[in-house]
Amino acid sequence: MRKSLRTSDIAKAVGVHPNTVRLYEEWGFLPAIPRTTSGYRQFNEFHLDQMCFARTALHGGWPGRKIRQSALALVRCAAAGELEEALAMAQTHEALVQGEIDQAETAVLFIQQWLNGEIVELTRPPLSVSQTARFLDVSTDQLRDWERNGLLTVPRHPQNRYRQYGAAEIGRVRVIRTLRRAGYSTLAILRMLLAVEQDSATDIRQALDTATPEDDIQYATNQWLTTLTTHKHRAADMISQLETMVSKYARC
């Protein structure tokens, strides 16, 4: 039997600080770790493989709550030794990420059709804020927030100064709503709309996914497609690691 590993050995092998290893243990991302009579942790090869797997799954954050919860659950499942179940969960996780990519791509297609004039709102009397909110299944707060953040400009009645949402404004709100529900940030949407206003031939996908020096790029949704693609590759790596772990430990 191979000699036991120390906390520093695990940390060095994975490229993290020893405190990170201790935190992963505390958070349930590692199996129970036996200790010597002196209180020193005694790691084995499975601990090392699980630490590598957990680092792949958890390092760098997640694009959205659903993907985060899925990653956390499957890492804890693997830590409990339920490797085959964790593998099945990882495959479901990969499908979840792909679903988000499909939704994001569908939104891009919708926007392109809108820009090409293939999606046109019916002409109707202008709607108020509350009427528009009900019509498009959004809140009045969302409408005001999008206007406040520069995503749209809404004309006002010349006498009472109430907002009037005509066909053009309703079409633009539908575009914003579609992109927000697909995961794109307000900043990414604004970046795309400004680019389109300057050049109607703008590549929508690139505009939505390309941060500028002025962007606060700490948010994954500012580069949503790139973020999702990264997580799709990560999900594939997780599946590969779990397949190796299943072959090594499932029958041990």
Query: Could you report the per-residue pLDDT of 202-224, keeping only the tens digit for each?
Result: 899 998 988 776 665 556 778 88
Q: Mean pLDDT throughout 29-58? A: 95
Instruction: Give φ, ψ of 156 to 5 degrees.
Output: -120, 150
- Summarize pLDDT for 5-21 with one digit per residue, the tens: 999 999 999 999 999 99
Burial of residue 118 (number of CB atoms within 10 Å: 0-12, 13-18, 19+): exposed
Q: Supply the pLDDT for residue 1.
A: 43
Question: pLDDT over 90 for what percent of the chain?
Answer: 72
Query: Which of 94, 87, 170 has its CA nearest to residue 125?
Result: 170
- Angstrom distance (rounded) from CA 71 to CA 194: 35
Q: Mean pLDDT throughout 81-102? A: 96
Structure tokens, 8 = 């520093």
- Angstrom distance (rounded) from CA 8 to CA 24: 14
Q: pTM for this structure? A: 0.84
Sketch out the chain's domains with CATH numbers.
1-59 (1.10.1660.10)
Q: Supply the pLDDT for residue 210.
A: 83
Contact between 43 and 5 under an 8 Å Cβ cutoff? The reply is yes
- Summarize pLDDT for 33-47 with one digit per residue, the tens: 999 999 899 999 999
> Which DSSP string corresponds to 101-168?
HHHHHHHHHHHHHHHTTSS-PPP-S-B-HHHHHHHHT--HHHHHHHHHTTS----B-TTT--B-B-HH
How distant is the alpha carbon of residue 222 from its chain centre? 10
Per the prediction, the chain carries an average pLDDT of: 91
Query: Which of 45, 20, 32, 9 has its CA nearest to residue 79?
Result: 32
Q: How confident is the model at residue 148 (pLDDT cuts 50, 70, 90)?
A: very high
Residue type, 72: L
- Summarize pLDDT for 156-201 with one digit per residue, the tens: 988 888 899 999 999 999 999 999 999 999 999 999 999 998 998 8
41 - beta bridge partners? 35
Q: Supply the pLDDT for residue 10.
A: 96
- Summarize pLDDT for 124-139 with one digit per residue, the tens: 789 999 999 999 999 9
